[in-house]
Amino acid sequence: MNDAIQVVQIEKTNKALWDEFIHSATEGNIFQTFEWDRSIVLLHKARALNINYKIVEFFQKGNENMLEIDKKTFVFKNKEIWFADCPYDVEGYDSVSFMACKNKVDLAGFTCYDFPTLMIDLTQGLDAIWGNIKPSCRYHINRALREGIKVRINENFDEFYEMTKSFRRKKGLAGMVVHPEFMKRYGTLFTAELDDEVIAGIFWLEDESNIRGLIGSSKRLDVVSKKANIIGNANRLLFWEAIKHAKEKRIKEFDFGGYYTGENKDDPRHTINTFKQSFGGQLITRYNYDKVYSRTNKWARSLYRLITL
């Protein structure tokens, strides 16, 4: 009996036999059948779009892990899409923004912006993640627990909203404060309490594979130095609890929400970098994309940039 395995090229005359085998296999799917080859050929002949772009669009629209957010600014209808591999065109909107894309591509009409950030790979064990955290940071996390800090998940939305408005106003930071209804729909809110008072919080955008820090605030600008130190410990505990939460949900990537790459040591973002680095993440680059379809929207954006210079 000859048990030797031979590798041969399948001819189109064997299409039916091969496709039947693929469909009966546990891991079989359309990308292994002759139909996938035919789809590529048809796309290439149509020449409606660059074939590489069309294939990217096909994959992306089937990605269930993307987070899609509809926004309306004045009369303009905008779509924001998070955690896609690559951008693609959408219909029925004045503009589209892709945030935290994994790949850098050159697509007609899209403007690309590099976005450096720190990332923790959550596929590794929790003990390994804890071990990569700097000893001083682990100390402050444990100190927060000893000080009686309580972490609440998806509670205190209104308190966090008001605290964030006050915090950003005192820091002289513009605009961005996410509404409680937005937080309830698109992510997870972690807040820290001391003696039943909310003293810090972080809101994370979240889907099935990704979690990303969007906005955080605290009451450290309102208190004396001793309590400010307690709030600093609470902030570290919030990050650790968010990591454990994401790990428990089998999320794969923990994104700290940005990293300052400038050389100015006096920039406040440099201090934030030091805080984030203490958790042991790796510096990577994600990519943001914008495309504006409406001429009126383009004009309005240009006008806004002029008056805010």
- Domains within the chain, CATH numbers bracketed: 12-54 (no CATH), 64-116+288-307 (no CATH), 117-284 (3.40.630.30)
**Helix axis angle, 34-46 to 15-24, nearest 10°:** 110
Residue with tokens 């050929």: 41
Which residues of the chain are under the pLDDT cut of 50?
1, 5-6, 26-64
Q: What is the pLDDT of residue 158?
A: 97
Q: What is the pLDDT of residue 249?
A: 96
Q: Where are the alpha helices (DSSP H) in 13-102?
A: 15-24, 34-46, 51-61
Task: For residue 18, count other CB atoms closer than 10 A to its CB.
Answer: 15
CB 177 within 8 A of CB 164: yes
pTM, two decimal places:
0.76
How high is the mean pLDDT of the chain? 83
